[in-house]
Structure formats: structure tokens, C-alpha cells
Structure 1
């Protein structure tokens, strides 16, 4: 019996992953709007609607734990959008017994924080700058150890691109000059494909299309819309 929480920004593929998990495990999907819209349809998307939605979720989770012998499923797959800078959202996760740590690579204790993490989530930004800073700080080695130990890694946009063999192909989308200290564009090489995100993104789809046309016969590109994901199993 378990609660699986899928966290991510709007339209990044949380429900897609949830539906795929439903096919693979004995679990039922509870997506964010199932409870929220129940109240928002009558109250609007107000603070009270969000509060009632959260309370309904916690009541369900508690009942699920207390009735494991009669539950028709082994797991709840729960999707939610979280603002990691928001105290309310962090408190919500802590109520689920989850500890969220925002890791700053410039802080002296970041290595211990990475080693203590069960899940690492790396968001987007400039791919080359991200790779530069991971290499500079030594966090890249810790992430490699994390993945090789069987723990979960989640990458969004640039966070997924750095898992490819090399990041040079993404220069039409991100500026390499943002990372003047990056000596090599060689990446983590945990997958043999080259993720190409933002194919349907209003601001980035033009650059994504240029990359697709330029490298589709040279690299194993994997184009992705903003609501799609790649699930890699070890």
C-alpha cells in the first residue's frame, strides 16, 4: 500500500505518467483537478476552494490507510502542482510526510543534502549553464551516484537534456555563451536519446523545430510537447 505523489509545474505530463503507472501497477489515479474542481465549480478558484480540496485529499489518504483490507487498489497515484517557493505548498507536502530541500550548490552542505535525498528534481533553465555549475561544484558526480544506486531522478527541460550523451545540439535553443567556464558539452550519457522539449511551446517551438530539422538524420532525437514525458526504467 502506497501513496505515489507526482509533482510538477502545469502541463509537464504529470497525468501522462500517472495514467502509465495505472497500467503497470495496482494503483488508481487521483489528479489535481478531481478534488479542486469539485469546489471551484461552486466557489471559484478561491482560497477556500483550495483549502477544502486539500482537506478532502487528506481525508481520503487517511481513510485509505485505515481501510487497507477492503481497498480495491494498492496505491493512490496523486498528481499536484507545487510552488517550491510557497510556504503553503511546502506545508502541504510536509503534511504528507515529505521533506522538500531546495539545494543551493553554493552552500557548503549541498553534498550532504544531495546524498540524503531519495528523489532529485532538476528544473529547466540554460542547459549549458546548468551543466557548467553541476561540473564546477561536483554535484554531477553525486547525481550519477544517486541514479546508479537506483534512486529516482526527474529532469525538466534542461534537467532532462543533460541526461543525453551531449548537449551541443541544443545550442539553437540555449546560448552556450551563458556558460563561459564550460570546457565540454559532453553530458551525463544516461540515455542514448536526445530529448528535444518544447515542440509546442509558444516561445520555444521555433528553435525546437530548427533543431529537429538540423539533427533528425544525425541524432536519435526525441521531440516532446510540454505535456509529454520520457519514462526511463533501469
Structure 2
């Protein structure tokens, strides 16, 4: 498993510059569709372009399975932007992209998950509802996530905009293994090892922990 999970890619993407330079990126902005293209999604794309990456945008809520499969097959990295986690997970499951993604990850491809793109990697996304409201058109019978990691990422930790929601999540889901990350941190997953890495002078601590994947 090769994952780079973050709150804001534009803040931390340079930490994996060597993995993205001049590479082909399948860029999935689907999570942002409900809210319009946010400036952070656009900033992420800009950073990829600055690295010389070849970006192909594909909205999995609109394209058919064969088109998505072809885009994934041609890509070196699959990137999921931020936005609404429930809208993204719904699109992943309805389109069959969840299964396509797992096959590509088994082949060793890198997945970048930004905010919502990181949240959906958890076993379930129920925990994030205080931060992300479930849209009325959500069609799934449960809130199952991709299950790529056994813990639950809480992005934007200590960001004033999300402070109240973050506190509610940590209190309400205290039995969950919630892993908060700030806008200047990311979780790098290699095989069965996860590492928090930072891109800020005042966040130098690097913490390793085992990700006991099934």
C-alpha cells in the first residue's frame, strides 16, 4: 500500500515531490462538486503542474466505469481532492471506482488523498458527519469507507474553521482510533507502516505507528 493522506495538499505536496515530478496523475475532483471547486483544490492542481506532472481530470460521478478504468491504468498516481466525504464515497461505490482503485493500489501505485480523499480511506466515514454533512441524495445503506487503513483521519486539526467539529468528533468517537492531522501534516503509508510527516518549522515531530492492515 502506497498512500499520501493530508489535509491540504498545497501545504505538504512538496514532501513527495520526487514521487510526482513528471508523473501522470489521474486527478479526481469529485468530492468538491457539491461545493464548487475550492481554492485548495485549484491550489493542489497548480502545485502538481509546477512539479511538471501531467494531470488528467476525471469526475467519477459522471464518467462510466470503462473510462475511469482506462484513466487509472494510464496513471502513475491517483489523486482524490477535498470536498464532501459522503458525496465522494457514494460516487466511489456507485461507479465501482472503489474496486478499481484497490486493484491499482495492489499494483503499487500511489494514491494521494486530500481531506475528503483521506477520510474515505477509513473503515467507516460515520465519524466525520459533524464536519461533513451527508447530502440528501446519498444512496448507500451504510457509511462504509474504503478500509485502506484501520484508523480514522481527522483533517484540518487546530484549524479555527473546523475546531468545534473536531472537538465534537474526538469526544463523540473516543472509542475510535482517530488520528488528527493539521494542515501542515500528512500521513505517509508504506506497506504496513504509517508515518506522520510535517512541512512546518514548528511541527518537527515525526511519529511512526503501526497500521495493522488486514
Taking structure 2 as the reference length, the TM-score comes to 0.66
Flag the structure with more relative contact order, 1 or 2, with Cα contacts below 8 A and sequence separation at least 6: 2
Computed over aligned residues only, the root mean square deviation of the Cα atoms, in angstroms, reads 2.5
Unaligned runs of 5+ in 1: 1-7, 22-26, 28-80
Q: Is the Cα–Cα contact under 8 Å of residues 164 and 187 in structure 1 kept in the other structure?
A: yes
Q: Within 5 Å, which residues of 2 pair with 1:48-127?
A: 82=43, 84=45, 90=49, 92=50, 96=52, 98-105=53-60, 106-108=62-64, 109-127=67-85
Aligned residues: 158
Distance 1:83 1:128, change over 3 A: closer
Structure 1: which 4+ aligned runs deviate by more than 4 Å?
none
Q: Distance in 2 between matches of 1:190 and 1:203?
A: 27
Q: Does 2:191 match 1:226?
A: no
Distance 2:58 2:139 in 1: 21
* Per-residue CA distance 1:197-218 (angstroms, 9 max, x = gap): 11122211210111012212x0
Tell me what 1:213 maps to.
171
Determine which structure has more spread, i.e. the larger CA radius of gyration.
1
Report matched runs for 1:1-234 at 5 Å.
Answer: 9-11=9-11, 13-14=12-13, 17=15, 82=43, 84=45, 90=49, 92=50, 96=52, 98-105=53-60, 106-108=62-64, 109-216=67-174, 218-234=175-191
Larger strand share, 1 or 2: 2
Write the deviation string for residues 92-121 of structure 1: whole angstroms up to 9, x where unpaired. Answer: 55xx4x321001221342221122211011
Gapped regions of structure 2 (runs ≥ 5): 1-7, 19-41, 192-214
Higher helix share: 1
